[in-house]
Amino acid sequence: MNEPRPIAEVPSHVQTARVVDFDVYNEPGLSHEFHETWLRLAGGEVPGLVWTIRNGGHWIPTRGEDIAKIYLDHENFSSRVMQVPRERMAGNRPIPGSYDPPEQNEFRAIINPPLLPRVIQSIEPTISGLATSLVENLKGRGECDYVADFALQLPIRVFLSYAGLPESDAAHLRHLAEEKVRPTGKMDVAEVMQALRDYLVPRIEARRANPGDDLLSQLVNGRMKDRALEVDEAVRMCSQVIVAGLDTVASALSFIMLWLSKHPEVRHELASAPEKIPAAVEEFLRMFPLVAIAREVRQDYELDGQVMKKGDIVVLSTMLHGLDERIFEHPMDFDLTRRRQVNSTFGQGTHRCPGASLARTELQIALREWLARIPDFGVKPGAEVLFTGGVVATVRQLPLVWQAK
């Protein structure tokens, strides 16, 4: 049963013409046509800034240009509130996601180095090995749920391998990461964080006593300007790195594979010319953005002829940037000859995704290894593919079938 969808009162400073009814979690349509439903919000004569009455009431800029502008402006827009309604942030302060500069810059100075492109390049053989073994194990089956059997498996295994943790921890960690982003009701936020703490603290302590060159060692031995990270900070930082890299990559892969299942000509082109895969991944990332994260207005700010008041919340949909037809002609078309322009799929500015290089590498390798072994596949006849909205859009399941050889 769907949760009740409470309606918030419209504050007096909101112009009436801007009020809409759009639920970033449960908007009717999101579950079947995710990106199209977001686009409907921005279509026609809709203002550049709307106010929705759902999830406590918040702003949504509808133009790519403004979305980018707000991402870039941490002076006016704080990350203290990353989700709507704001109560969802209670007891939940991810590092670095919910901090503003200058503190956030110090955290980023710890996270960025182990995720730099040249470092990720050095673990490419490991990622290829993991992707290959996952596809090899599935190939003979002729069917799978792509989300559970491949898309969610790869990023958690890559994390475990780079963090120097055993593959046997995959199910436990995946379970906790999923409870954090998509609570089933079996655990509350405090319980999930405690379970992540119970898992991480002994491993953090081991790496502090005996540092290696693995990802976890680099994160937990990182220093703030004038002090070591506290254990609680190390836990919140490692948790965000795990959680942020799981659903995102899994969903991007699943949206891409769903699209490829309906476009055999592109599948065959990429299988026979894998050197085109990096460019294809860039186009897919533009076409299938996933993140709609919030900011809190720090001081009154005017946009599109409307004042947003200090304390208001703005949700920045990366979908409305990558698919803005004012910027990208025929945005739902896959076009490798398209002129490269900035989009916000990985965010912009100080919080821009530090995992972008890892994500791109995982997506490229996953497509290359899959298409080399299973170039032809389709959605299982009769299966329904559903999506979930929220901070990160997800594909709930993607039953694929192919001719097993």
By CB under 6 A, name the binding residues for ligand HEM. 71, 79, 96-97, 104, 108, 111, 115, 240-241, 244-245, 248-249, 252, 290-291, 293, 318, 345-347, 351, 353-355, 358-359
Instruction: Find the shortest distance in angstroms from Cβ 229 to ligand HEM.
Output: 14
Contact 77, 314 (CB under 8 A): yes
Instruction: Find the shortest distance in angstroms from Cβ 366 to ligand HEM.
Output: 11
Of 43, 7, 10, which Cα lies nearest the Cα of 22? Answer: 7
What is the token pair recorded at 394? 């997800």
Query: Which DSSP string do the residues of 76-114 spell out, in sequence order?
Result: TEESS--SSSGGGGTT---TTTT--TTHHHHHHHHHSGG
Residues 6+ apart with CB under 8 A from 299: 76, 310
What is the token pair recorded at 350? 């100080």
Instruction: Find the shortest distance in angstroms from Cβ 356 to ligand HEM.
Output: 7
Report how far residue 288's alpha carbon sits from residue 284's, in angstroms, rounded to the nearest whole number: 6
- Specify the residue, 177 or 374, whose C-beta has the smaller distance to ligand HEM: 177
Instruction: Find the shortest distance in angstroms from Cβ 244 to ligand HEM.
Output: 3
- Specify the residue, 14 or 252, whose C-beta has the smaller distance to ligand HEM: 252
Report how far residue 328's alpha carbon sits from residue 41's, in angstroms, rounded to the nearest whole number: 17
Place of tokens 């475990």: 160
- Specify the residue, 143 or 169, whose C-beta has the smaller distance to ligand HEM: 169
- Specify the residue, 357 or 397, whose C-beta has the smaller distance to ligand HEM: 357
- Specify the residue, 348 or 402, whose C-beta has the smaller distance to ligand HEM: 348
Residues 6+ apart with CB under 8 A from 356: 346
- Specify the residue, 57 or 355, whose C-beta has the smaller distance to ligand HEM: 355
Backbone phi and psi for residue 19, each to the nearest 5 degrees, phi listed first: -80, 130
Instruction: Find the shortest distance in angstroms from Cβ 153 to ligand HEM.
Output: 14
Instruction: Find the shortest distance in angstroms from Cβ 365 to ligand HEM.
Output: 13
Q: Which residue is nearest to ligand HEM (CB)?
A: 355
Instruction: Find the shortest distance in angstroms from Cβ 82 to ligand HEM.
Output: 6
- Specify the residue, 14 or 391, whose C-beta has the smaller distance to ligand HEM: 391
Contact 395, 258 (CB under 8 A): yes
Using CA atoms, how far residue 370 sits from 4, 270, 321, in Å, is 41, 11, 29
